[in-house]
Amino acid sequence: MKKVLKKLPALILALAALLSVCATALADDMVGPGPVLPLPTVKKTAVAVTQVEAARESAGSIRVTWTAAPEAAGYIVLRKAPGDKGWRCLGLVNAGGETTFLDTLDSTAPQQYLYRVDVLPADRDRYVGGEGAVAAAANLLVCVDPGHYLGSSGACTDDGKTYRECEFVLDVGLRLRDILENRYGIQVRMTRENEKIELFGLVNGQSEVEDRGLFSQGCDLFISLHTNAKANPVQGYAAWYQPLYINKPTVILNTMACSDPLVVDIANRAGLNLAAANYRLGIENQPNFGPATAGAIPHMGDKPKPGAAPVLVCWRKGNRGDYYGVLRGSNAVGVPGMIIEHAYHTVLAMRKLANDGVLAPLYADIDARAVADAYGFVDLSAYT
């Protein structure tokens, strides 16, 4: 054995020399009077992932799923943040198993990402991997609560069109969900998606109002959507035909939100932009409001200090904590929450625009941008 090992280097050199001679001989044989014919070119077919989805699994992780691609041996999962020039490879997934990948984030701070899944073809002589579809996601979860349910709020008919708060805010809520998810990648949990509400096995009036807020447990933010009404009719005006000067939005925070600068920022953006939009549409005649300050949120009904602009953000204390059940519930499960009263539906001009389909898409867009802008999120729809 030792003799063989000693001779091994010489054998390797001899083999290399033999291969060199053979290669030279083959080259000499190829030289001839005729042209050398090129090898036939095989046109490769591109294969790609056509559908990708990404959604928050927790504050520290995002789940990416995709449809299987034909002729794939595996998949490359890529990620980038908005504004990044290049894609970062997160990992490889073999074909034949589950088409899913869990991206464990470096931080639980709210952030947006784009995800792409490319194909590694099984037969690289016939196929080439193309760029896959792109999905947007954020590690942010918002609970949206369209207030009331069918039959639980009043109704008024004008010119043959009936306004019901429960129907209007459901329209706003569904639009808000779609904008947050499709434009910003923010995941949304809805307390209801139709005319009834069913939480914890209880339907409509069987459940407590507080349950809506409790349903937000685990979310980053709770938003309850409403339109307002004057509890006592203004002197000289019927209950459903109150004067324009009472109309304004109001944003009511739960206790824990009052000291959270980011949530107060969302509330200010929503309130001030709603007031400006209502004023431009001619359904509000109070254009001048100021922002509220975290840690110094006025109680509902407090008058502004002399010379200060009135604010649209407030809170209201009750006998058991927050006065409103939805806010009491969200506060109980540690979720900052707010009620957005977009306008007074007891003002005829507001109801007319709502019934004509003008206000729901506008209000949903304002609410969505208030959330996204406060978090510093950008519109990702152009990438997907």
At 307 the pLDDT is 85
Query: What Rg do the C-alpha atoms of the chain give, in angstroms?
Result: 31
At 207 the pLDDT is 81
What is the H or E stretch that residue 354 is in?
helix 348-355
For the cut 80, the answer to whether the pLDDT of residue 35 exceeds it is no
What angle separates helix 165-184 from helix 359-375, to the nearest 10 degrees? 40
C-alpha to C-alpha distance for 112 and 381, rounded to whole angstroms: 12
At 121 the pLDDT is 96
Q: How far is CA 5 from CA 1, 10, 50, in A?
A: 6, 10, 56
Residue 296 has a CB neighbour count (10 Å cut-off) of 10
At 37, the pLDDT band (50, 70, 90 cuts) reads low
State residue 118 phi and psi, 5-degree precision. -105, 160
Mean pLDDT of 25-44: 56
At 223 the pLDDT is 98
| In contact, 112 and 30? CB cutoff 8 Å | no
For the cut 70, the answer to whether the pLDDT of residue 34 exceeds it is no
At 230, the pLDDT band (50, 70, 90 cuts) reads confident
Q: What percent of the chain has pLDDT over 90?
A: 77
Name the average pLDDT for the chain: 89
At 41 the pLDDT is 65
Of 265, 251, 366, the C-alpha closest to 313 is: 251
C-alpha to C-alpha distance for 86 and 75, rounded to whole angstroms: 18
C-alpha to C-alpha distance for 123 and 121, rounded to whole angstroms: 6
In the Cβ-directed half-sphere of 248, how many Cα atoms lie within 13 Å? 15
Report pLDDT digits (tens) over 127-142.
Answer: 999 899 999 999 999 9
201-215, 277-291, 343-357, range with the lowest pLDDT: 201-215
Mean pLDDT of 98-125: 96
C-alpha to C-alpha distance for 14 and 188, rounded to whole angstroms: 71
At 114, the pLDDT band (50, 70, 90 cuts) reads very high
Burial call 47-59: b when 16+ CB within 10 Å, e when fewer: bbbeebebbbbee
At 175, the pLDDT band (50, 70, 90 cuts) reads very high
The whole-angstrom distance between residue 107's C-alpha and the CA centroid of its chain comes to: 18
Tokens 């014919």 identify what position?
37
State residue 58 phi and psi, 5-degree precision. -160, 180
Residue 190 has a CB neighbour count (10 Å cut-off) of 18
At 38, the pLDDT band (50, 70, 90 cuts) reads low
Looking only at the bridges linking them, the beta strands covering 72-80 and 61-66 are unpaired
Domains along the chain with CATH numbers: 45-138 (2.60.40.10), 141-375 (3.40.630.40)
What angle separates helix 359-375 from helix 261-280, to the nearest 10 degrees? 150
At 36, the pLDDT band (50, 70, 90 cuts) reads low
For the cut 70, the answer to whether the pLDDT of residue 339 exceeds it is yes
Of 105, 98, 92, 363, the C-alpha closest to 223 is: 363
Tokens 């059940």 identify what position?
325
At 33 the pLDDT is 52
The pTM (predicted TM-score) of the whole model is 0.86
Of 186, 189, 83, the C-alpha closest to 144 is: 189
At 68 the pLDDT is 96
| Contact partners, residue 23, CB within 8 Å, separation at least 6 | none
State residue 267 phi and psi, 5-degree precision. -60, -45
Report pLDDT digits (tens) over 192-228.
Answer: 999 999 998 888 887 889 999 999 999 999 999 999 9
Report pLDDT digits (tens) over 65-111.
Answer: 999 998 999 999 999 999 899 999 999 999 999 999 999 999 999 99
C-alpha to C-alpha distance for 169 and 364, rounded to whole angstroms: 9
C-alpha to C-alpha distance for 192 and 253, rounded to whole angstroms: 21
Report pLDDT digits (tens) over 138-169.
Answer: 999 999 999 999 887 889 999 999 999 999 99
The whole-angstrom distance between residue 364's C-alpha and the CA centroid of its chain comes to: 13
In the Cβ-directed half-sphere of 17, how many Cα atoms lie within 13 Å? 6
C-alpha to C-alpha distance for 230 and 240, rounded to whole angstroms: 9
Specify the 3-state DSSP secondary structure of 65.
Answer: strand
| In contact, 152 and 205? CB cutoff 8 Å | yes
**Beta partners for residue 54, in sequence order:** 64
At 40, the pLDDT band (50, 70, 90 cuts) reads low
Mean pLDDT of 288-314: 94
Report pLDDT digits (tens) over 242-275.
Answer: 999 999 999 999 999 999 999 999 999 999 999 9
At 223, the amino acid letter reads I
At 264 the pLDDT is 98
